Amino acid sequence: MGVPLRQQIAVGTYLIKQKLKGVKKYPLVLMLEPLFRCNLACAGCGKIAHPEDVLDQRLSYEECMQAVDECGAPMVSIPGGEPLLHKEMPQIVAGIIKRKKYVYLCTNALLLKKRIDDYTPSPYLTFSIHLDGMQERHDASVCQDGVFDRAVEAIKLALEKGFRVTVNCTLFQGETPEDVAEFLDYAMELGVEAATIAPGFSYEKAPQQDVFIKSQDTKILFRGIFELGKKLKRKWRLNHSALYLDYLAGNQDYECTPWGNPTRNVFGWQKPCYLLSDEGYAKTFKELLEDTPWEKYGTANNPKCAQCMAHCGYEATAVEDTLQHPWKAIIASLKGPRTSGPMVAEPTPKWTSGENKTPKKLSDISVTLVNK
């Protein structure tokens, strides 16, 4: 795991407190989305397909601080859109740090060189820089040439200035274990703290619908990645729990924990999670927890969720499993994900299709149709 011990202790203390208080639904990471506007139009992004009047909206500094205080999560991820376009972002980050929350500022890094002096290195601040693979792969993913080189330049600059830096990699159709291993090797050589790596979610409004991976193919891909890593004796620093990585390899039977990564954006508190944007909004975090029909969502419960294995839904589940079964997590951490043998059985879908038929298994469902 590529997370500093100080942060592990802080988050662990928070989790233990929730358990001692008997809290059943608690947040792990606040997804604070202060704008949808971006300076790129990535092929697999479903966040920028809004009308201009929505793209022009911003959460204010005060609204962001209210969300941080209301939610209470120990970590705050600031995605977008492109957060560095927000004029108040330096103040927002400073306000979160003042509250001793760990903030991951997600950016495509195109503006980082210009804006980096607006920020001060801190153990509470990490620049999470978007890289979807090596140069050709990444530039194709973001639909613009030259972005990879500019992102790498920004990574080197941020590291030189003493900032914590991670890379955030989303995997799409056509990836091979060899491609991903090459990228992870390169990321480690750059000197980043860790890499976040997960399959892309099939956004209904994404510009391209043929880029997403089915969950079964995701498991096969990750088994290949981890097997190659063992063969090459790699020690990649991954910003994930050991059990989430084991889940990606098809070895854990998990249901998602959407309240673990609640989302606050310009519309309110998004139901039920960061990825589904057409299910309504709550006015407060309390209302989100109490009024969202959580039983309607999850891999087996909703076709929109059928192929999802995203960390914003399942990392919190893996963390909960770690608390419940620490020895299981320790063994997974020491041995790494299992890369051979049977995978856990797919859950049986509980919904009916438009023809009033229940799919026999999740792999029968087209990944490009799950949100339609």
- Quick: pLDDT tens for 120-154: 999 999 999 999 999 999 998 888 999 999 999 99
- 174-192: pLDDT as tens digits: 899 999 999 999 999 999 9
pLDDT at residue number 103: 98
CA gap 337, 324 in Å, rounded: 19
| Averaged pLDDT, 304-331 | 94
Rounded CA-CA distance 160/117 in Å is 12
In the chain, count of helices (H) and strands (E)? 13, 9
* Domains of the chain as residue ranges with CATH: 5-364 (3.20.20.70)
Pairing of strands 263-265, 29-32: parallel
- Average pLDDT (153-175) is 95
In terms of Cβ atoms closer than 10 Å to its own Cβ (0-12, 13-18, 19+), residue 27 is buried
With a cut of 50, say whether residue 98 has pLDDT above it: yes
Asked whether the predicted pLDDT for residue 203 surpasses 70, the reply is no
Output the pLDDT for position 367.
Answer: 53
The answer to whether residue 117 scores a pLDDT higher than 80 is yes
Q: Which of 3-7, 115-119, 189-193, 347-351 has the lowest mean pLDDT?
A: 347-351
* Mean pLDDT computed over every residue of the chain: 91
Structure confidence at residue 354 (pLDDT): 57
Rounded CA-CA distance 179/183 in Å is 6
Percentage of the residues of the chain whose pLDDT score is greater than 90: 76
| pLDDT of the residue at 9 | 95
Give the rounded percent of residues in the chain with a pLDDT score beyond 70.
91
Q: What pLDDT score does 363 carry?
A: 61
Residues 213-241, mean pLDDT to the nearest whole number? 94
Q: How confident is the model at residue 347 (pLDDT cuts 50, 70, 90)?
A: confident
Q: Which phi-psi region, left, alpha or beta, contains residue 102 (left: φ > 0; alpha: ψ -120 to 50)?
A: beta
Mapped onto helix, strand or coil, the DSSP state of residue 5 is helix
Q: What is the pLDDT of residue 359?
A: 59
pLDDT number for residue 368: 47
The answer to whether the CB of 85 falls within 8 A of the CB of 57 is no
pLDDT at 261 over 90: yes
Residue in the block written with tokens 């009033």: 356
Report which residue type is found at 196: T
Q: How far is CA 158 from the centre of its chain?
A: 21
The tokens for 115 are 């804006």
169, β-bridge pairs? 197
Interacting residues of 201 by C-beta distance below 8 A, sequence separation 6+: 46, 212, 275, 308, 310
Where do the H-state alpha helices sit in 22-99? 52-55, 61-71, 89-98
pLDDT given at position 357: 58
- Given this model, what pLDDT does residue 41 score? 80
